[in-house]
Structure 1
């Protein structure tokens, strides 16, 4: 695929639009920049501009990512953490931003997911239903300790 050539200003504006459309992390912006032919100095200048003008804000991105994945997709913390790490967000920032999830909401969501899934298990012995449900909830990113509390 031939890379189209744009002026520095055009590329910068394309990246501003990319960040305005939805919150982005550094890794996504770096990835997007690969579509353009840019010398390292130009890349750095664009990143600095995006940061200075607050188009690129790693904490804002992390917070909105956590809210979206929990409140819309009902992911648990472990799954959210894994996906944020793949985007090169630091452990420290991830931990700081987890306060976006209200603890009561988290427990309510886990309980609901548990009840819905558990109720669907037909024709199985009790321990099989329990084990399938635990596996399912772990795959959704919920912590084993939290899941176990429900069974208590």
Structure 2
């Protein structure tokens, strides 16, 4: 950053954003927000984003896959929550679909089963209907599909 007037040249912005994107996968929206915070004009933003795409620092398909894998493995999010979050980041449906393919179906059901059993065991509620509702609300909030949730609840709380 140039200390005299607090703005970046296009080259400085390119280098800064290369480091930003190399550190962690980013989506276009995050990069554009970062450039706006750097007080870059739209013409410069377009040039920097084009440079990042051209040199493979910015790739939304790669971002979608990394995001889906990470949120699934670390936070145990279901596909619905991952889709919602990716849409908020401005990704299109095709890219999201490709990203979700990073999650193996066997792993998906195993994590769902483990998470739902663990949460059911944590619930202190004695009333069967309230217990079902609490478990359903928890799993739905985490983004698991409603058909899976209701089948699992019938299995765990008959």
Q: Same fold (TM over 0.5)?
A: yes
Hey, what's the Cα distance between the residues in 2 that align with 1:38 and 1:131? 49
CA deviations 1:31-67 (Å, max 9, x no partner) are 0001223332221111111001000000000100000
Matches within 5 A, 1:54-93: 54-93=56-95
TM-score (norm 2): 0.89
Task: Give the whole-Å Cα distance in 2 for the aligned partners of 1:144 and 1:40.
Answer: 42
Further displaced range: 77-86 or 55-64: 77-86
**107, 114, 117: which is aligned to 1:115?**
117
Give TM-score, length-normalised by structure 1: 0.92
Relative to structure 1, the CA distance from residue 129 to residue 14 in structure 2 (aligned partners, 3 Å threshold; closer, same or farther) is same
Q: Could you say what the CA RMSD is over the residues aligned between the two structures, in angstroms?
A: 1.6
Is 2:62 the counterpart of 1:53? no
Q: Deviations over 1:55-101 (max 9, x none)?
A: 00000001000000001111111111111111001122112221111
Q: Structure 2: give runs of 5+ residues left out of the alignment.
A: none
Give the secondary structure class of the aligned counterpart of 1:64.
helix
In the alignment, the residues of structure 2 paired with residue 27 and residue 69 of structure 1 have an alpha-carbon distance, to the nearest angstrom, of 18
Ranges in structure 1 where 5+ consecutive residues have no aligned partner: none
Match of 2:6 in 1: 4
Structure 1 runs (4+) deviating above 6 angstroms are none
